[in-house]
Amino acid sequence: IWTLAMVGENFVNDARNIKTYKDQTGNLRSSIGYIIARDGNIIQENIEGKAEGRAQAKEIANEVLRENNKGFVLIVVAGMEYAAAVESKGYDVITGSVPAAKALLKLKIKEYSL
């Protein structure tokens, strides 16, 4: 769980610190977060910020969790409904942070497998 949390925290920090778009209300950046679940039950989360952003992020994360409810899962999310539209215009909301998160997770799994 600690490794998933570390990867999630790094992802959130990276995604929130990318300044390729102007977040006028603060809702989009505050909707960036993660949850960790085991067999469909949330055991840890980091979804902070403004109430509207938090609510949207939790809703999206729970939708993804319903479809991915076996074993341990780390779900990263930008919950505002317009996040994909912002990304489609060439701005980086979360997509650019995914490769580093995947690489870190693979590295940690490899370290623990030795």
**pTM reported for the whole predicted model:** 0.87
33 CB-near residues (< 8 Å, 6+ apart) = 12, 45, 46, 47, 48, 49, 54, 57, 61, 76, 77, 79
Q: Which 8-state DSSP code applies to residue 73? A: E
Q: Are 61 and 36 in contact (CB under 8 A)?
A: no
Per-residue confidence in pLDDT tens, the chain, 114 aa: 899 999 999 999 999 998 899 888 888 888 899 999 999 999 999 988 777 778 888 888 999 999 999 999 999 999 888 999 999 999 999 999 999 999 999 999 899 876
Residue 48 corresponds to which tokens in the numbers above? 């902070």
What digits encode the pLDDT tens for the residues 59-89? 889 999 999 999 999 999 998 889 999 999 9
